[in-house]
Structure 1
Amino acid sequence: MDLDETDREILRILQADARTPFSEIARRIDMSSATVHDRVGRMEEAGVIEGYHAQIDPRSVGLGTSAFVGLRIEQGRENDALDRLREIEAVQEIHLTTGEWDVLLRLTVEDTDGLREAMFEEISRIEGFSRSQTMVILATDLDDRALPI
């Protein structure tokens, strides 16, 4: 889908606050609410807008420990390993990467006991897993920056 500057402005507004009413978006960009509704609908259908969600503070729901985990997976076993990783509740993100690690994960758990359990009881038992490096996140300086649209 080709995006014009109006589409990009709508996306910037929605990135800042996805709950912004179409009437408010329309007012800001000097357009009718119906036109904004149509444009947003087209961007949703085209997959430009992938969804809407509430951003929840993990600590407020008892999930105080996060870590990045680099994994090495044996060649030919990547698809099965990815299927198993998707089933692990603690896994929040899965990225296929170049370099030293085949896969980079972000895990969120209650505490270091939860991290140990995820690593030793779940991840290390995946067929094709050969080694890992775990980096506990001590603090986050920047998270969920809006895309530079």
Structure 2
Amino acid sequence: MLDKTDMEILNLLTKNSRTRWQEIGDTVHLTGQAVKNRVERLEKSGIIETYTIKINPNKIDKKVTAFITIFMKTTEHLAFQKYIRNKPIIIEAHRISGDGCYILKAAASQDEILEFLDEILKYGNYKINLSIENIK
């Protein structure tokens, strides 16, 4: 069971997973060692699954962030999933309920996005929304 301190630690790590234990401890009123112990417990219990980085697409020449909803016209879901796992422009991919079958987040140049859209037509149709500002 998570307590308020665990939630505060998770919130701080979500903002920056490289924050030092002591710095987190100063914020949540624990020692750095106590924070380390809590984080290890959260890792072992599966609450913290992995640590990631957030890349600024504009700094690496990836100019467009697109959210693409896929409407499958084939039953080849496993082939589609394998295909998108191997596409470096896909940052996130989720199978969804409701409007569509999958939602993908892509970051790439406009030309790369267009090429990708042409390629996925063999699996289904799509709807695309382009990000105009990253708020969080």
Quickly name the TM-score band, shorter chain normalised.
0.7 to 0.9
Structure 1-normalised TM-score?
0.79
User: How many residues end up aligned between the 2 structures?
Assistant: 136
CA RMSD in angstroms, aligned pairs only: 1.9
Which residue identity is paired with 1:35? A
Q: Distance in 2 between matches of 1:54 and 1:64?
A: 18
Call closer, same or farther: CA 1:25–1:134 in 2, change over 3 Å. Answer: closer
Q: Which moved more, 1:58-67 or 1:72-81?
A: 72-81
1:48 aligns with 2:43: no
Contact 2:70-2:103 at 8 Å conserved across structures: yes
Structure 1 residue 87: deviation in Å?
1.0
Q: Distance in 1 between matches of 2:15 and 2:68?
A: 29
1:140 aligns with 2:105: no
Q: Equivalent pairs: percent with the same residue?
A: 25
Q: Distance in 1 between matches of 2:28 and 2:129?
A: 44
Over 6 Å off, 4+ runs: none
Q: Distance in 2 between matches of 1:27 and 1:11?
A: 15
| Structure 2 counterpart of 1:130 | 124
Which residue identity is paired with 1:123? I
Secondary structure of 1:41's counterpart equals: helix
Q: Which moved more, 1:13-22 or 1:56-65?
A: 13-22
Structure 2-normalised TM-score?
0.86
Match among 113, 117, 120 for residue 119 of structure 1:
117
| Structure 1 counterpart of 2:84 | 85
Q: Distance in 1 between matches of 2:117 and 2:38?
A: 44
Call closer, same or farther: CA 1:29–1:130 in 2, change over 3 Å. Answer: closer
